[in-house]
Structure 1
């Protein structure tokens, strides 16, 4: 028996092999500069809303919206970045006192369509979702500015980003690259009109800030006109790791300050409770409990760069709390199925390569159907190439589970062309 267990353990730790197609659920543009905002953002918004890498009034360098710094955008002068997929090596070298490069000069594939397509060929990637780059770090400060100044400037800024994608990338590059347009719920009329314009321009996936807006659940029927537009076109909705504004009040209640530098100001408590998995768990559970997917079955939804180790417990707790609240308040009616069943059919979670993915899948009874891989290219936190995800993250999985995670789950979320909307 001991020999059998040892043999099984040995199999689990062997480097897995996968040479099939890849769908990368988490890649990024690396903004070469922000001059395109000067082109697409109307000039009347430049003073207060124009994004720029610059030195601020206090002399610190960073990404600014007008003169407001996005504290959680960690930038170096000159546009240098840590080498893609090399964060561990970079930090290890620093900790041991080795000489390291001050940064990596971004390559053309990080900001231009043609070179990015060539990079996909080099990486053997068939399809990929491409998220905003540094600009995602502004979601928190933009939410704060909306509270102070109203949504008009933020809406204009998001439209400028979307117009940049439409004009300089397109919203579906040969079914190989799906750039994420930005939508927000600050102003429903604007969101509906923006969504219609995006659909006319072929949008396949949008990224949105997490959480409620103005005391309303994002799944409140008030917002149904927006969701109907996205549902009719089969547009996927994603929540990428970013500052969650709805957590700010909670942070203040605990005697801390939000919107701090992740490098030097964000506390361990905030890392644990106010950033990443808990905000996205709250957001996605709310959609489930509000019967969102019964009304809008063509919308697929994904958590991106929030890891996946929370997933088994999350699904278990959603099912359990449905039972606890069986006689409670169900704003859009009691669910007809288990929350976990609804989630697995409609939702996806991008795993970190360092997650115990086999452990996650085992806890889900061997079901890998809602887990996606993500390289995070060209960011340092991910893997050097998408295929490296197999060796780091897929040990112990079956060939079928690896194929699902590396490819077919992504294609179920983002089918080619305009077919299979109810997926």
Structure 2
């Protein structure tokens, strides 16, 4: 733990310091290429479902699933990426349309397990959760393709990705890297089978699309066969920022088009209401109100790269609406605790470094126990190194709060070792 007096706040004009271990709640693969899908994806799905970087019919280069372009997967034909951690430059680029810094050639640690572990040593990171890279942008397209073509191809594609993680990264690499295989609810039989296989491979964390499936809340008892498997194994469920397909009908009702480029075509209204915080709030509140954590107490849940400034108001509103609905419909029975208490015990939120984290913690009564740091490495919109999160986001916090956010909250979410869940 950094410092000896947790009651002392960092001086406002002095950057806080933290020299302890780090648990990074948001890191990514930078896919070298997609040739591994040729090995893992059955051939009958190659035509419609094969991911590839290529030129489309209009000559533009990008990420495609079959012949469908994935918007918002920023792809350079030469494989260059923006330098990691160019946050301010990235935010400026969003408003001006300019490029983010000089072209950067991805390094080995971005696509290879052993090199990434060496990078964690360099960064002083004990453990990290690692998500898909540009492939996460495909979630929206895949959801639409499931509606049109059925789930079989998408299931095969997700299994191919998961097999790649098992073979190339491991799902738990020595308690240093926790890779996140993908599960989805659109085909329960497949999800149950995949979850059983993932548990056999040592899974600790999965990532899932946000929202309902097939007209059912994700905590509907229909899906209990899946949640039973994850609960027995103490698997963490994460919701990483991505296209929320369940918002598409709403977008159309307002006369706008879904799956637009966020740099060139997505409206401010969609940015505000249909992406990131509102979809994840709807999703996580549904889990709480359906008494999911009373039924599956070994499952922890985390919102990743959706920011955290929504958290205080969200907890207040969940408690208030519990009172408003006290005589209403409670699908799994009335809650015996405040929703905010349930959430803070079972759920975690990765903050943006640009969030007013001090203000968030103050609104939570000084309680920082459900907030995680995330570097977003190697993406441009994060911080250059995980430890830079302290200076960027932790001003005004106590030493104890900084330590919780930088390390111990992550360890409470994911204790070391294959089994074991901490309440």
| TM-score class normalised by the smaller sequence | over 0.9
- Structure-2 residue corresponding to 1:389: 389
Shift in CA distance, 324/96, structure 1 to aligned 2, threshold 3 Å: closer
Shift in CA distance, 92/145, structure 1 to aligned 2, threshold 3 Å: closer
**For 2:96 and 2:374, how far apart are their aligned partners in 1?**
29
- Structure-1 residue corresponding to 2:212: 212
Given that 2:129 and 2:179 are in contact with CA atoms closer than 8 Å, whether structure 1 keeps it comes out as yes
Report the 3-state secondary structure (helix = DSSP H, G, I; strand = E; otherwise coil) of the residue aligned with 1:181: coil
- Structure-2 residue corresponding to 1:250: 250
**For 1:267 and 1:160, how far apart are their aligned partners in 2?**
34
Given that 2:89 and 2:101 are in contact with CA atoms closer than 8 Å, whether structure 1 keeps it comes out as no
Matches within 5 A, 1:336-415: 336-415=336-415
Q: Deviations over 1:373-399 (max 9, x none)?
A: 000000000000000000010000000
Report the 3-state secondary structure (helix = DSSP H, G, I; strand = E; otherwise coil) of the residue aligned with 2:12: helix
Q: Give the aligned CA root-mean-square deviation in angstroms.
A: 1.9
Given that 2:316 and 2:340 are in contact with CA atoms closer than 8 Å, whether structure 1 keeps it comes out as yes
Q: Which runs of 5+ in 2 are unaligned?
A: 1-7
1:281 aligns with 2:278: no
Given that 1:74 and 1:263 are in contact with CA atoms closer than 8 Å, whether structure 2 keeps it comes out as no
1:49 aligns with 2:53: no
Which TM-score applies when normalising by structure 1?
A: 0.95
Instruction: Measure how far apart 1:95 and its partner are.
Output: 9.2
**For 1:158 and 1:188, how far apart are their aligned partners in 2?**
14
- Structure-1 residue corresponding to 2:162: 162
1:292 aligns with 2:285: no
**For 2:162 and 2:89, how far apart are their aligned partners in 1?**
35
Which TM-score applies when normalising by structure 2?
A: 0.95
- Structure-2 residue corresponding to 1:268: 268
- Structure-1 residue corresponding to 2:124: 124
Matches within 5 A, 1:6-405: 11-89=11-89, 102-405=102-405
- Structure-1 residue corresponding to 2:4: none
Given that 2:185 and 2:213 are in contact with CA atoms closer than 8 Å, whether structure 1 keeps it comes out as yes
Q: How many residues align?
A: 416
Given that 1:26 and 1:350 are in contact with CA atoms closer than 8 Å, whether structure 2 keeps it comes out as yes
Instruction: Measure how far apart 1:43 and its partner are.
Output: 0.9
Given that 2:89 and 2:100 are in contact with CA atoms closer than 8 Å, whether structure 1 keeps it comes out as no
- Structure-2 residue corresponding to 1:5: none
- Structure-1 residue corresponding to 2:5: none
**For 1:225 and 1:69, how far apart are their aligned partners in 2?**
34
Shift in CA distance, 359/13, structure 1 to aligned 2, threshold 3 Å: farther
Instruction: Measure how far apart 1:98 and its partner are.
Output: 11
Report the 3-state secondary structure (helix = DSSP H, G, I; strand = E; otherwise coil) of the residue aligned with 2:238: strand
- Structure-2 residue corresponding to 1:4: none
**For 1:88 and 1:35, how far apart are their aligned partners in 2?**
33
